[in-house]
Amino acid sequence: DAGVTQSPTHLIKTRGQHVTLRCSPISGHKSVSWYQQVLGQGPQFIFQYYEKEERGRGNFPDRFSARQFPNYSSELNVNALLLGDSALYLCASSLIGQGNQPQHFGDGTRLSIL
Amino acid sequence: GDSVTQMEGPVTLSEEAFLTINCTYTATGYPSLFWYVQYPGEGLQLLLKATKADDKGSNKGFEATYRKETTSFHLEKGSVQVSDSAVYFCALSLNTGNQFYFGTGTSLTVIP
């Protein structure tokens, strides 16, 4: 069975541009979460979506937005990119988004801002 | 707030040595606890989990016990292998949602 898939794997942008990252969850999983992992740190929670509705939002500016589609795939959008947005962006899925369920992670999108 | 504190690395061990990576947590309510492993260039893989106090999670020779009295979830393995070299993350999730709080990670290198 396919795991969580993310695209693209690598992306280079310049300051001020915007970016869209995509994620397909494991088949049957209805919850998708997004995390930012800066080099040498643990992942930081950005968003959680379940059944197309936002269920949680981390401490990130409004430049970050996301949505979930009827097929449970998801997009993360970041506007007005800053150098500090350079990071590995991880998508994770779980069955129904409850706290005792593990999240299954994709390999991430490496975003570099020049 | 809710958080996880991990033992700082990097940790270097010889093959077949005993491994302990300390993890303590702060949480409102009763969290579920997880260990994830990240190999170079890859995403995080679930290693083990425990969802209530005194539960022991285990997988691939790794073990961790959910200790409510000490708010800890230390990772242990009796005999490490070179293939265990990776970064290990402790994480918690509150049962009211599915947001994960991760520690900063502990890098483990096992030398032959």
Joined tokens for residue A111: 């975003």
Chain A to chain B Cβ contacts (< 8 Å): 76
Q: Which of A55, A98, A103 sits opposite B100 (nearest CB)?
A: A103
A25 touches B at CB < 8 Å: no
Which pLDDT does position A100 carry in this prediction? 79
A43·B100 Cβ contact <8 A? yes
SS3 content of chain A, % helix, strand, coil (to 5): 5, 50, 45
> Is the pLDDT reported for residue A40 higher than 90?
no
Nearest by Cα to B76 from B25, B21, B33, B35: B21
Mean pLDDT of all residues in chain A?
94
Please state the rounded mean pLDDT for residues A51-77: 95
Backbone angles phi, psi at A107, to 5 degrees: -80, -10
Phi, psi of A90, deg, nearest 5: -110, 140
pLDDT, position A1? 62
Nearest one of A66, A86, A85, A71 to A21, comparing CA atoms: A66
Q: What is the pLDDT of residues B26-42, one digit of tens each?
A: 998 889 999 999 998 78
pLDDT for A70 equals 95
